[in-house]
Amino acid sequence: MKRRGCAGNPGGLCDDIPHASNVMSQLATAGLSDRTRLVLIAGAPRCGTTAMSRYLGRHAQICLSNPKETHFFLSPTSAADPAASRDRYRRHHFPDLDWSHQVLLDGSISCLYSPDSARRVLAVFPDARFIVMLRNPVDLVHSYHGRLLFYRQETETDLQRAWDLQVDRANGRNIPTFCSNPEILRYREVGSLGRHLEAFFAAVGCERCLLVFYDDFIEDPGTSYRAALAFAGLPDDGRTEFPRKGRPRAYRSSWVQFMLSGAFLMPLLPVGAGSTAFYGRLARWSKPWRKRIRSLSAPKVERELLSPQARANLYLEFKDDIDRLARLTGRNLDSWRVAASSPEEALSQRVPAAGMAR
């Protein structure tokens, strides 16, 4: 497979950038401008996808989905009738769309982990493009675990213990009471970016993908932002300020956090294509008072650092996948490798959980 825009271009910027003249004329029949095209931030989690969505969503010619992660194309029937799906997708998730918008922006990070959903995207939007954000899987899993703790989807505060519980949880044991979906507790699956990116390239072609590495994005968000605009075929709007979110937060009251996390709403949500749209509207309506309550309930805290031993253990789990990602992207990932302690020494000291599959 010819991989233009992967190893050959800085940051993975593809050569074949779509322009208004190439966009599908059939979009007009779905109530969209014939200039409107889809850019999907396909993943991965905890890699700056929310910040990138926020920055791009403020561009005058981009309409950001509501909610940011629609997960619309996870449904096996989402591409059964492309014209009807385009119309339903627009109505449910782009209430602010008007004729000034040239790009629909969807932040469904689940797409990276589901090649079938990516194929359905292309069945409905044949000219769709994908932004894939990548990060050292050790740091990704550490951050992801902290996020699950904050939203009470995870109750095991020790990351190593949570990692060792994966087999039990896959068999339906030791699942936190309020976890909305046990599959989100599969830390190995979430962090295996090389394997998922390889399957994703096979599904959509790497020429449709812009790769953004978290390290680059944090160091210079403006450059990554402008690369994303160019990839979407849009002009630079001159933005120079890229505010970052506040520091990680903890919470004082577990019950208040349970209410704010939205877990208690799950039984009330309608089933079907409109469920995430309903949740998005509810979240938008309640956002001001939720932010106020959270500011009172959640004191700012510094994230607990991984110990050198825990970092070495996780590196060993992801070493082969990091090598695969380096080959796929042509990126030197030596900075991701463990320097503080010897991986061989960590392996000799590591006692794996019973039944842990590699």
Check pLDDT > 80 for residue 324. Answer: yes
Q: Which residues contact 20 (CB under 8 A, 6 or more apart)?
A: 35, 102, 233
pLDDT, one tens digit per residue, over 257-277 is: 555 555 544 444 443 444 455
Nearest CA among 32, 19, 20 for reference residue 83: 32
pLDDT, one tens digit per residue, over 183-212 is: 999 999 999 999 999 999 999 999 999 999
Q: Which amino acid is at 261?
A: S
Of the two residues 224 and 341, the one the predictor is more confident about is: 224
Superfamily per CATH, domain 10-135+190-231:
P-loop containing nucleotide triphosphate hydrolases (3.40.50.300)
Residue 291's pLDDT band, with cuts at 50, 70 and 90, is: low
Domain ranges of the chain: 10-135+190-231
Q: Are 203 and 119 in contact (CB under 8 A)?
A: yes
Asked which of 43-47, 80-84, 169-173, 337-341 is least confident by mean pLDDT, the reply is 337-341
User: Mean of the pLDDT values across residues 89-93?
Assistant: 93
Q: What is the pLDDT of residue 298?
A: 57
Residue 347's pLDDT band, with cuts at 50, 70 and 90, is: very low
Q: Are 124 and 86 in contact (CB under 8 A)?
A: yes
Nearest CA among 24, 353, 291 for reference residue 161: 353
pLDDT, one tens digit per residue, over 301-315 is: 456 788 888 999 999
Asked which of 106-110, 237-241, 292-296 is least confident by mean pLDDT, the reply is 292-296
What percent of the chain shows pLDDT beyond 70?
68
